[in-house]
Structure 1
Amino acid sequence: MEVSYKQLLHNISTLIFDVDGVLTNGMVTIMPDGELVRHMNIKDGFALKTAVDKGLNVCIISGGTNEGVRKRLANLGIKDIYLGAHDKIKQYNELVEKYNLKPENVLYMGDDIPDFPVMKLVGLPTCPNDAVQEIQKISKYISNKKGGEGCVRDVIEQILLVQGKWVHSFDAKYD
């Protein structure tokens, strides 16, 4: 019997995200000096910070090398940030060793072919709904959101809800 992805959320302790196409919409603006500017969703940022604050290991493995991306993610409390990662298996193996992880403890969200090898190893491979077909085929969950448009918030909120760690309501004064 196939286990639903919702059942797998209980065991997730580590979240690994790609950047371009997941935390961003995959588009870059090329500045006159050659700098590539990306846009990130502020709601994804809130969810990432909340996940860190609730004790989940949040990790980034990206082929991109933008230091602005590193600063943004570090400011959210993310400590494991691997940029310029072209063989993502290497960084994944470092994380497995560092946190003594089993596949069922790991959710990975990717959107394109470079994410494929790691996604085949984790317990819960996920993707935004605009991921390439090869990634969608191996994903156990496809967000209803596109990359850079809340797909990260979507999966984090689901995990934290299932684990009883999401902010269910605010003070009555905000109702």
Structure 2
Amino acid sequence: MNGLLAQRAKTIKLAIFDVDGVMTDGRLYFLADGSEFKTFNTLDGHGIKMLIASGVLTAIISGRTTPAVERRANNLGIQHVYQGREDKLAVLEELLAELGLDYSQVAYLGDDLPDLPVIRRVGLGMAVANAHSFVRQHAHGVTSARGGEGAVREFCELILDAQGNLEAAQAAYL
């Protein structure tokens, strides 16, 4: 693991995820009736569950609003969900005030320009492998996996490992 990323991940108390392009592959699917559906990766979901079990708080901040995101967040136990909020930095500041945390205790995983202000402000700001090149350039780190294809799991395990909780999380299944 990259030593600088591990150092940044060691103090994380809140992990925040974008949705489209991070928890999903970024494609939008619309049915003939106008409804929308999304596909999520189960490996990513279990990474979030392990992170929550280790005591790290979780949140979603998405510029779009869809019932699928609310349902997925509920299924995984994600504590804080903000949809339809394009000013993600403003949401972050609200969340920090509510939780009594500071920027250095937050990790964020994003993929596009609206994520960049948060990525640059938090203690651990990362981009998925297929994020926009400008975002990758300004992130603290980039996952090897693409959005919707294991990037969330990689991000969660980076935090778990840095905090000394990954082995115990995995050993629980032996």
Say whether the fold is shared (TM-score over 0.5): yes
The 3 A distance-change label for structure 1 pair 57 and 170 is closer
The unaligned stretches of length 5 or more in structure 2 are none
Partner Cα separation in structure 2 for residue 164 and residue 105 of structure 1? 16
Q: CA deviation at 1:4?
A: 1.1
Q: CA deviation at 1:170?
A: 4.5
Larger Rg: 1
Q: 1:1-175 residue pairs with structure 2 within 5 A?
A: 4-166=4-166, 167-170=169-172
Q: CA deviation at 1:101?
A: 1.6
The unaligned stretches of length 5 or more in structure 1 are none
Partner SS state of residue 148, structure 2:
coil
Q: Which amino acid aligns with 1:60?
A: I
Q: CA deviation at 1:137?
A: 1.0
Contact 2:38/2:68, CA 8 A, preserved across alignment: no
Q: Which amino acid aligns with 1:16?
A: I
Partner SS state of residue 16, structure 2:
strand
TM-score normalised by the chain length of structure 2: 0.92
Q: Which amino acid aligns with 1:169?
A: A
Q: CA deviation at 1:83?
A: 0.5
How big is each residue's C-alpha offset from its partner over 1:64-119, in whole Å with a ceiling of 9 and x where there is no partner? 11112111111211120001011112210111101222221111111001111212
Q: Which amino acid aligns with 1:102?
A: D
Partner Cα separation in structure 2 for residue 30 and residue 78 of structure 1? 25
Q: Which amino acid aligns with 1:90?
A: A
Partner Cα separation in structure 2 for residue 75 and residue 88 of structure 1? 23
Runs of at least 4 residues off by over 4 Å: none
- Over the matched positions of the two proteins, sequence identity in percent amounts to 35
What is the number of equivalent residue pairs in this alignment? Answer: 170
The 3 A distance-change label for structure 1 pair 38 and 139 is same
Partner SS state of residue 136, structure 2:
helix
Which deviates further from its counterpart, 70-79 or 39-48? 70-79
Q: Which amino acid aligns with 1:99?
A: L
**CA RMSD across the alignment:** 1.4
